[in-house]
Each structure stands twice: as structure tokens, then as C-alpha cells.
Amino acid sequence: MSKTTKGAEYTLPDAPSDGISTVRFSPTEPGRLLATSWDTTLRLYDVERPALLGKYETSAAVLDACYMGSNPKRVFSVGLDPAVRGWDLETRTQVTLGSHEGPVRCVRYSDLHGVAVTGSWDKTVGIWDPRSTAVQPVGRIDVGSGDNDGSATVIGAWAKSDPAPGSVTDPVTQYGRYMQPERIFSLDIVGHIAVVAMAERHIYLYDLRNMKETLQRRESSLKYMTRCVSCMPNGKGYVCSSIEGRIAVEFIDPDPAVQANKYAFKCHRRQAEGVDVVYPVNALAFHPTYGTFASGGSDGMVYTWDGANKKRLRSYPRHPSSVSSLDFNCNGSLLAVASSYTFDEGEKDHPEDAIYIHPIGPEEAKPKKVEPKA
């Protein structure tokens, strides 16, 4: 199905042939969308035409990708092989920034610091210089046990080069890989802060200006495995989701008065023959203007939420398969949704993978006005 009428949802042509792991809009061009897939490709779409602009082949399943900040021509990708790749979408060239020792689940770019940040199943967070393609290790640096003393263990750190153009003058303490207690499932960045979600419900907060010290060590408010974490655009907190149909709204400031505002709620559930069926919440994304957020689950549903006022804003028609990823474009006018089976029920027949584009009106994402209590 192609785009037909203004305001109606539509699907993109030439969808990946296997599971869709990530959809990610450009931070500067509202019509450009990246999609990564288990079919070993990274794809670039013009969602307004709509059309596939480019398909970039790799050697293994691609699990995540992101743009190099405001540069619409440079992206990073990671996947089941340990390489961290940089791509020039215009020249179709690829470089390897470095490697982990196992599959790499997630990648984000800090425009503020000029670094790519990765999270791997090898239990490390990687900090990479995007301008370097042949980093020379200066050896292993142990700066603590990484257990209880507030420090982290650095593996294969590299000497710091000059800051990237436009970045702060004191970027990260050291490029390299920082040991964590568990496999990394999700991470996000806002300002100087990186939020890292791991197995066994660990959530660590880092200040990118000093990766040698863990800023905060938390246990997830949710009782079951974390699927996704996404930072509030205002930098005050983050939301995280679990496999048990719940979302937690968390705040970064450790002050007890601020922490008293955190909460969690049930979602992505439905009744079947009198039984409450619970689905994993796979995807979270914040609206860039209003600070509200969307969630996508294995029930095929997408909802928008007003976290500040604890209200659900909108539910969308059920998608044919699990929602594996979603993202708002840079002006908040579109929401991309990956409908792709996430194998929560093992191998079985399932609908074809597809990427849906939902035009977003202000009433769908704008916070509800809350009347003061009498």
C-alpha cells in the first residue's frame, strides 16, 4: 500500500525481508527514515514520496542505527557481528570505528560530545570517535572493580583526540569500552547523561564527561526484564518498559522530593476469555515538541501518553504483527511504526514485516489540559 490521502496512515515500499529491528528518523530532515533488519540491511527511505532511497548490505543482522547528530549523510550501525560501523549515505562508503567482543544491541550519538555510544551483549558500553577508523589501543585500564565503588572498568581504551567540531571542549574522559555488570539491552542519551538498561534489571546512569565513574546505579522499578529506555527531551528523566506490559516514568535528580514523583503503569494488555493477556512493551519514543511519548507492544498496538498528567492520549488501530520499533520525526508530524514479529511465541507463521507511517495531528500528541481541583 502506498500513500494515497493526506492524513491517512500508509506503508513504505520495499520493506525488509526479515525482522525489522529499528526505525529511526533523521534529526534534521523530517522525511528521511532509517530502518535496520535481521536481513542484514540498513535501508534509507524518503517517507514523503514514499520511496526506498538506498539499501546498504552488511555481513550480519543489523540491530540498531542512528544518525551522526545533525549530519543527515552520516549514520552508525551495529548488529550481531561485533563491529561498530560508520556509513556515508551519499557515497555509500563504510568504515569500522572499532569492535566489541560480542553482538552490539544499541547505538546512540551525542551531538554535545561528538561521540558514538554503543551497548553490547559483551557487557560493555563503548565510546567511539567517529572520525577515527584505525584507533590504536594503549592497553587495558582498570579504574575500579565496577561492582560497588562507583567506578567502572575500562577495556581497550584509546587516547583522546581533539574534540569533534561543534562539540564541547571537554568531551568524554576516554574513548574505549566500559565494563558493566550485565548485557546491555537498551540505552539513550540526553545532554551529558547516558541511561543504560541491562539484563537483571540494572539501570546505570553515566555522565559522558566522566565515564570512569557511574553517576547512579539503579534497579528498575519494573519487576521483569527491561525492553526499552527513552530519555525525556527536557533532560529531567526517562521512561523504561518491560516484557510484562508495564512502563515506568523515572526522574534523574536523586533528590527524594523529585523521586517521589516517579510511577509505573500497566499497558499493552487485553482480555481473552476472561484472562488478562500481557504483552511486552518493545518500543518507546518521545514527541520532540510536546514531551509526550508513544509506546509499541507485541500486541500490535501503539498508544500515545501524557506522562506529566498520567493520561493516555490516543490508541491507534492494531497493527498486523508486533510493534518492534517506533519513532517520531524531527518536527513531530509523523510517527514511523515497525510492524514485525518479535518471536515472543517462538517460531510460527506471522504477517509480513511492514513499516507504517502515521501522520500526527496536534490533538494526538499534545498534553491534555488539566483543570485545577476545586
Fold: same for 20-219 and 225-365: yes
* CB neighbour list of residue 76: distance below 8 Å, 6 or more residues apart: 65, 66, 68, 84, 85, 86, 87, 97, 107, 109, 116, 130
Please state which architecture CATH assigns to domain 20-219.
7 Propeller (2.130)
CA-CA distances (angstroms) from residue 281 to 174, 257, 340?
34, 28, 13
- Break the chain into its structural domains and give their ranges: 20-219, 225-365
| pLDDT higher than threshold 90 for residue 120 | yes
Kindly state the percentage of the chain with pLDDT values over 70.
Answer: 85
pTM equals 0.89
Write down the mean pLDDT value for the chain: 88
306 pLDDT tier (thresholds 50, 70, 90): very high
Cβ-proximal residues to 257 (8 Å cutoff; 6+ apart), any chain: none
Confidence (pLDDT) at 133: 55
pLDDT tens figures, 81-111: 999 999 999 999 999 999 999 999 999 999 9
Closest by Cα among 20, 46, 106 to 329:
46
The answer, yes or no, to whether residue 285 has pLDDT greater than 80, is yes
155-185, pLDDT tens digit by residue? 444 434 444 444 443 444 468 899 999 999 9
- Residues β-bridged to residue 272: 275
Q: Parallel, antiparallel, or unpaired: how do β-strands 93-99 and 83-88 relate?
A: antiparallel
Please give the CATH architecture assigned to the domain spanning 225-365: 7 Propeller (2.130)
| Predicted pLDDT at 349 | 80
What is the pLDDT at residue 174? 65
Instruction: Find the range with the poorest average confidence among 140-149, 273-282, 313-322.
Output: 140-149
